[in-house]
Amino acid sequence: MERFLIIGSGPAAISAIETIRGKGSKVEITLLSEEPYIPYSRPLISYLLAGKIEEERLFYKGRDFYERYGVKAFLEEPAVEVNIREGIVYSTKGRKFTYDKLLIAAGGKPIIPAVEGKELKGVFTFTTLNDAKNIAKYLEVEKAERVLIVGGGLIGLKATEALLEWNLNITLVELADRILSLTLDKKASNILQWRLEKESVKVITSNTVQEIRGQKKVEEVSLRSGEILPCDMLIFAIGVAPSVSFLRESGVEINRGIIVNEKMETNIPNIYAAGDVVEIKNIISGKNQPIAIWPNATEGGKVAGANMLGEDKFYPGTFPMNSVEVCGIPTISMGLTEPEGNDYEVFSKEEGINYRKVILRDNRVVGAVFVGNIERAGIFCGLIKDHLDVSPFKSRLLDDDFGLIYLPREYRKRKIEEAIGL
Amino acid sequence: MKRIYIHEEYCIGCRLCEIHCIAQHSRSKKLIKAFKEEFPRPLPRLVVEESGYISFALQCRHCEDAPCLSACLTGAMYRDEKTKAVLHDKDKCVGCWMCIMVCPFGVIKRDENNKIVSKCDLCNGEEVPACVANCPNEALEYR
Ligand SMILES: Cc1cc2nc3c(=O)[nH]c(=O)nc-3n(C[C@H](O)[C@H](O)[C@H](O)COP(=O)(O)OP(=O)(O)OC[C@H]3O[C@@H](n4cnc5c(N)ncnc54)[C@H](O)[C@@H]3O)c2cc1C
């Protein structure tokens, strides 16, 4: 029987397994995961830390996923080396795993900057379930009150939002001149910063941590600006990098992430990769880059799984997008949100905290931002994907009742038919 | 699977579909009770779009390759194995709005009272969904 080996147990891996079994295949599936858990949803760790949900809810595929899907899982047993010539993966426990086909879905690892003091107690990242548990434990045991969050991107904000429920004294420091600078435009960033400050979060921009000091645990932090902040806990949230260190010598081609084609094949026959670990085509810029979002992991995993079974499926790529809610203000952003240069046409509208902006290039939507009123934002996601010429109705894009009705009738009909596979 | 088909040329924009959708998803499932006595009132799980002389009701297409299923972080959005409908388990939803971000039809709504999303469930096992059953001009069809 054919043997599939999967490295990782995140959504890319899970979606590949669901695809493989969903097609009725009985291949042998073995899985290695660095973490001690059955599949869980990383994005839910902020809800857990906030006390909004129980730990059980993180196991979004049910406790019996591996059994139901016939997966032989080796937990807390990360891959350390891949030998492509012999088709063997070595684990930390010194075990050898042979495969006919290999899927690398090892996701991303949080980036920790090389600052003095980063090994002190009280310094955390916020990526895994263990991170969330360790943070909660530290807060309880050490009675930490002053928390510094380094990085004002998605994960930094998720951590902030969760910790607001703990009644702490929170400072957020961000290197760029505004929070969520990679995904939101200036106005939306400002709205969220204003909201955080209203919640007594101290937001420091254009600055970062220079040194972490303390006897055994974090006691204070010095910033690049020279400012010294007393602090009991620090969370690094400056980004994730594809988890590829175990592949460096393997011959699998890697840039920042693993390089794959539209079939999610690496340069090595029978080795596939998907999710945060790969560079995927950004269909707006045309360039390949890691796009570390959940839907990219599930979509890529689905295509990889099908192709491992010998099908001919393609994943044309995606674009950065996210949905982040901060203190009750929902935001959705997609594509280019703060474009530079003269090639763009920008429409925007603002009413209190409700803000919408749509960016066009050559009469095609290439980006959008929604704050407050996020209703029907997905229509714009569809317009970006479909590369539709919006010139006939572009003056309507920000109308309150904007909807499919303004789209060309033929396109609308085709879209509805395609959805149901006609 | 059985689906709702839209015939926009027959739609008269009366919004009876919307009203009956609300009633169907209310506690009593009774029109007058739902509107007079039940608060907060459930959201309609469809949108009626209207511009000039054209109008139509639009509800979840239960897509074959559903972007909301790929985007859901919690397992709340799932495909019913028997009917193939895309359904939503409100006990699993945390209101992350990822599905709203990716639904190209814009038919998943935010239920702000409950901090979860709300969408068409094809009236969960009813012979004919309420919007279709109550359309006076056959602008919606279930087959
Ligand atoms: C706090 C937080 C909030 C987020 N919120 C959102 C959000 O709102 N929306 C969104 O789209 N995305 C969000 N994301 C990002 C999303 O979680 C990721 O894009 C997604 O999990 C990537 O899936 P993946 O399968 O590629 O890898 P991961 O989920 O990173 O999983 C990687 C798996 O590989 C395992 N692994 C790693 N190295 C090895 C090894 N050497 N050997 C064996 N196993 C290994 C890990 O243990 C893990 O099981 C969030 C992430 C975090 C941390």
Domain residue limits, chain A = 3-109+241-308, 123-238, 330-419
Q: Spell out the alpha helix ranges (H) of A229-324.
A: 294-308
What is the pLDDT averaged over residues A282-293? 97
- pLDDT at residue B28 in the model: 93
Compute the distance between CA of residue B26 and CA of residue A94 in angstroms, rounded to an integer. Answer: 59
Say yes or no to pLDDT of A123 above 90.
Answer: yes
pLDDT single digits (tens) A166-180: 999 999 999 999 999
Interface of B with A in 32-91 (CB under 8 A): 47, 49-51, 54-56, 58, 61-64, 67, 69-71, 73-75
Say yes or no to pLDDT of A420 above 90.
Answer: no
Across the interface, whether the CB atoms of A295 and B109 are under 8 A apart is answered no
What is the pLDDT averaged over residues A30-40? 98
Confidence of residue B112 (pLDDT cuts 50, 70, 90): confident
Element (H, E) at A230: strand A228-230
Q: What residue type is A73 in one-letter code?
A: A
Two structure tokens written together for A363: 């009469």
Interface of B with A in 80-119 (CB under 8 A): 92, 94-106, 108-110
Please indicate whether residue A42, judged by its CB atom, sits closer than 6 Å to ligand 1.
yes
Q: What residue type is A419 in one-letter code?
A: A
Whole-number average pLDDT of chain A: 97
Fold of A123-238: FAD/NAD(P)-binding domain (3.50.50)
The CATH code of the domain that includes B138 is: 3.30.70.20
Confidence of residue B1 (pLDDT cuts 50, 70, 90): confident
Interhelix angle A378-386/A409-419, rounded to 10 degrees, is: 100
Q: Nearest-CA distance from B35 to chain A in Å?
A: 23
Say yes or no to pLDDT of B137 above 80.
Answer: yes
> Which residues, listed in sequence order, are joined to residue B57 by a DSSP beta bridge?
B48
- At residue A4, the 3 state secondary structure works out as strand
What is the pLDDT averaged over residues A207-230? 97
Compute the distance between CA of residue B113 and CA of residue B119 in angstroms, rounded to an integer. Answer: 15
- Burial level of A198, CB count in 10 A (0-12/13-18/19+)? exposed
The count of domains in chain B is 1
DSSP A41: -
Ligand 1 pocket mutation pick from A41, A75, A293 by most atoms within 8 angstroms of CB: A293
- pLDDT at residue A126 in the model: 98
What is the pLDDT averaged over residues B30-48? 93
Say yes or no to pLDDT of A422 above 80.
Answer: no
Class assignment of domain A3-109+241-308? alpha beta
Report the nearest atom of ligand 1 relative to the CA of A158: 1
Distance (Å) from CA A300 to ligand 1 centroid: 13
Please indicate whether residue A257, judged by its CB atom, sits closer than 6 Å to ligand 1.
no
- pLDDT at residue B125 in the model: 84
- At residue A340, the 3 state secondary structure works out as coil
pLDDT single digits (tens) A177-212: 999 999 999 999 999 999 999 999 999 999 999 999
Please indicate whether residue A212, judged by its CB atom, sits closer than 6 Å to ligand 1.
no
Say yes or no to pLDDT of B47 above 90.
Answer: yes
Across the interface, whether the CB atoms of B70 and A302 are under 8 A apart is answered yes
- pLDDT at residue B123 in the model: 96
Say yes or no to pLDDT of A230 above 90.
Answer: yes
The reply to whether A330-419 shares the fold of A3-109+241-308 is no
- A299, A374, A379 ranked by CB distance to B70: nearest: A299
pLDDT single digits (tens) A343-401: 999 999 999 889 999 999 999 999 999 999 999 999 999 999 999 999 999 999 999 99
pLDDT single digits (tens) A55-100: 999 999 999 999 999 999 999 999 999 999 999 999 999 999 999 9
The boundaries of the domain holding residue B105 are 4-142
Chain A's closest residue to B47, CA to CA, is: A403
- pLDDT at residue A211 in the model: 97
Say yes or no to pLDDT of A232 above 80.
Answer: yes
Report the nearest atom of ligand 1 relative to the CA of A243: 38
Nearest CA to B48 out of B40, B57, B39, B60 is that of B57
Distance (Å) from CA A275 to ligand 1 centroid: 8
pTM (whole model) above 0.95: yes
Class assignment of domain A330-419? alpha beta
- pLDDT at residue B21 in the model: 98
